[in-house]
Amino acid sequence: MIDYGPFEAEDTRGLYIFDISDTVNPVKISRYTGLLSSGYDIDVVGDFAYIADWNGGMEVVDVTLKQTPVARGYISLPDAPWKIDVKENHAFLACYINGGVQVVDVTHPDNLEIDGYYTRSGCFALGIRVDGNDIYLADGAAGFQIYKTGLITGSGTLPLPAVSPSSVFPNPFKNQVEIRAASVAEAGRDLHVYDASGRLVILLAPSGNEKGSVIYHWNGKNQSGNDAAPGFYYYKTAPGEGGFAGKMLKQ
């Protein structure tokens, strides 16, 4: 289960794993606090937890080792996904107003890709379930929609989100790190840097463009000018079409 940490004064945020072999006495195995996302819904298939991120994306966590889960991938989506249903190699997400139904190919968790989508035909994509070739969508005030998975082609009025690849150098780093996104389309967007608990550390403005890429620099300090503690940090652009996200280690 996930806890997105709604109360700032309480340290509850994380992915929780329980052993429910004895349903009367469930036992907590671990709590993973390295979530990049503000988890709003979760589905678990095999050894992977797929998390719908209220900030506008989907995160994949490898839970093969229940004591030590590991982040594997993240992809930005056009809007906040309220619900997620994973079937075989695809994750189906109800992405509120702007996103409709987004379908993510999760064959390679480290390299997630949008495989198709439906433009919204109703109002609010709030809930989703997939059964065979049918997608059942709770569409807010618009009622109930049914789609066919075989008809997903991406040929609608909503373009596929262009998710930019990004890189970090050096990684790990001590005092200076460069984050580069392979798209000048990101040039006007601030970059959010979060600590492992999901708290915002600093907003970074682009520091320049070079050879078709936009570049961000971080000196390892927080918004107040103090040195950030060693550990894992996550970066992502604000919610919206496209964007990018990643992870880096400060020594």
Domain positions in the chain are: 2-151, 166-250
Residue 86 has pLDDT above 70, yes or no: yes
Of the segments 44-53, 132-141, 212-221, which one has the largest average pLDDT value? Answer: 44-53
| Gyration radius (Cα) of the chain, Å | 19
Helix (H) or strand (E) holding 131, with range, is: strand 127-131
Residue 211 or 72, more confident: 72
How high is the pLDDT of residue 240? 52
Pick the CATH number of 2-151 from 3.30.70.1150, 3.40.50.720, 2.130.10.10, 3.20.20.60: 2.130.10.10
- pTM higher than 0.95: no
* pLDDT band per the 50, 70, 90 thresholds, residue 239: low
How high is the pLDDT of residue 7? 84
**Could you tell me the CA-to-CA distances from 211 to 181, 182, 208, 219, 244 in Å, in that order?**
11, 9, 10, 23, 18
Residue 99 has pLDDT above 80, yes or no: no
Query: CB-hemisphere CA count at 13 Å for 247?
Result: 18
* pLDDT band per the 50, 70, 90 thresholds, residue 132: confident
Answer whether 204's CB lies under 8 Å from 168's CB.
no
Residue 165 or 216, more confident: 216
Q: In DSSP terms, which residues pair with 128 in a beta bridge?
A: 137
Residue 125 has pLDDT above 70, yes or no: yes
Instruction: Report the length, in residues, of the chain.
Output: 251
Q: Tell me yes or no: is domain 166-250 CATH 2.60.40.1930.
A: yes
Share of the chain above pLDDT 90, in %: 37
Mean pLDDT of the chain: 83
DSSP assignment of 231-249, as one string? EEEEEEEPSSSSB-EEEEE
What is the residue whose two structure tokens read 């589905």? 43
Structure tokens at 123: 């109002």
